[in-house]
């Protein structure tokens, strides 16, 4: 066994009960610090699309989501890398929305990249410091790259189809979008930038869906469980669930987890911050991303079996 690193020894000296609290506080501090450093480059774009935050409730919602998000990563046993991937996936609806519905603001793409990097680092660093033992890392090979590209393509196609219904709904519910002409006008530059934006999202989805189970929680189902009394509708559903392979069950659960994080990201990160954002539009936006994520999860579950 390799000797413990200084970081591992320092993390081991911290009482386990206070590590989640420290992770939350460190994450929020880093997010504030990085945001302050980046403000000269991103504040103008954010002010153009975001609504002013004037009341305590505007801030409390974002703070509550950050606390729940970090606690979810910690309690779920995610290592720093996969927690950062989950963070990127939770931000994906915001990235897609701003890039698709504010196309006239060309500098917005770098701003979104910087904002995403800030959020991902503010998740990665606290968990890496307080939980320095990473889970097993998936090797990067041609199969992994191809699967990630497949996930990116599925996301892009599904969301492109959904936009035919989503755009009229957002306009109907009062969201302040770019001009309709600009939203529907698609040129080669926009297509390329959207494809580039979806590539890290597809990579993150593949890594999270296929990541090995954490050693910090037991998710194994005893083989004797199938022999238990499984009567009625719920029993039949449970029996069908237990007949699935462990890998398929893992992908299904992770797909539901990603969809839940994205729905929360839509509600807090989009509807709660953009001009004209409201719950009615957020529901439809979350539904579009849920369908896209289920499509990706279903296809990758099938790919994992062949």
pLDDT tens digits, 222-249 = 444 444 555 667 777 788 888 888 888 8
pLDDT of residue 280: 85
d(CA 25, CA 31): 10
pLDDT of residue 67: 93
The token pair at 294 is: 């289920």
d(CA 201, CA 184): 23
- Please determine, for residue 187, whether its predicted confidence score (pLDDT) is greater than 70: no
pLDDT tens digits, 250-283 = 999 999 999 999 999 888 878 877 877 788 888 8
Helices (H), 76-222: 80-101, 108-130, 142-172, 180-184, 188-210
pLDDT confidence tier of residue 220, bands split at 50, 70 and 90: very low
d(CA 12, CA 5): 11
Query: 237: part of which helix (H) or strand (E)?
Result: helix 232-243
pLDDT tens digits, 70-102 = 999 999 989 999 999 999 999 999 888 888 887
Measuring CA to CA, how many Å separate 188 from each of 178, 219, 232, 260, 295? 19, 46, 55, 33, 26
d(CA 140, CA 162): 31
Can you give the C-alpha Rg of the chain in angstroms? 21
Q: What's the mean pLDDT in 28-51?
A: 87
Find the largest Cα–Cα distance for the chain: 63
Measuring CA to CA, how many Å separate 19 from each of 53, 75, 99, 131, 157? 31, 11, 36, 9, 41
Percent of the chain with pLDDT over 70: 83
- Do the beta carbons of residue 86 and residue 73 sit within 8 Å? yes
Count the Cβ atoms, other than its own, within 10 Å of residue 135: 18
pLDDT tens digits, 95-152 = 888 888 876 665 577 888 899 999 999 999 999 999 877 655 666 667 888 899 999 9
DSSP 77: T
């Amino acid at each position: 066994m390799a000797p413990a690193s200084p970081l591992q020894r320092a993390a081991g000296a911290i009482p386990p009960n206070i590590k989640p609290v420290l992770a939350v506080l460190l994450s929020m501090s880093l997010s504030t610090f990085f945001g302050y450093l980046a403000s000269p480059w991103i504040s103008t774009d954010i002010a153009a699309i975001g609504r002013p935050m004037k009341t305590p409730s505007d801030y409390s919602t974002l703070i509550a989501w950050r606390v729940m998000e970090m606690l979810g990563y910690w309690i779920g046993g995610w290592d720093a890398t996969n927690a950062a991937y989950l963070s990127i996936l939770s931000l994906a609806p915001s990235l897609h929305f701003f890039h698709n519905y504010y196309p006239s603001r060309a500098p917005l793409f770098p701003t979104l990249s910087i904002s995403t990097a800030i959020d991902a680092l503010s998740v990665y660093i606290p968990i890496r410091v307080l939980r320095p033992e990473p889970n097993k890392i998936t090797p990067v090979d041609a199969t992994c790259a191809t699967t990630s590209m497949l996930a990116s393509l599925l996301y892009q196609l599904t969301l492109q189809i959904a936009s035919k219904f989503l755009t009229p709904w957002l306009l109907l519910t009062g969201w302040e979008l770019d001009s309709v002409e600009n939203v529907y006008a698609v040129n080669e530059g926009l297509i390329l930038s959207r494809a580039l934006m979806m590539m890290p999202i597809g990579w993150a989805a593949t890594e999270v869906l296929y990541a090995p189970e954490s050693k910090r929680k037991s998710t194994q189902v005893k083989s004797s469980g199938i022999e238990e009394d499984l009567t009625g509708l719920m029993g039949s559903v449970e029996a069908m669930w237990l007949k699935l392979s462990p890998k398929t069950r893992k992908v299904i659960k992770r797909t539901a987890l990603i969809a839940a994080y994205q729905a929360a990201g839509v509600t807090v990160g989009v509807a709660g911050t953009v001009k004209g954002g409201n719950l009615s539009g957020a529901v439809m936006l979350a539904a579009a991303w849920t369908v896209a994520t289920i499509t990706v999860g279903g296809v990758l579950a099938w790919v994992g079996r062949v």
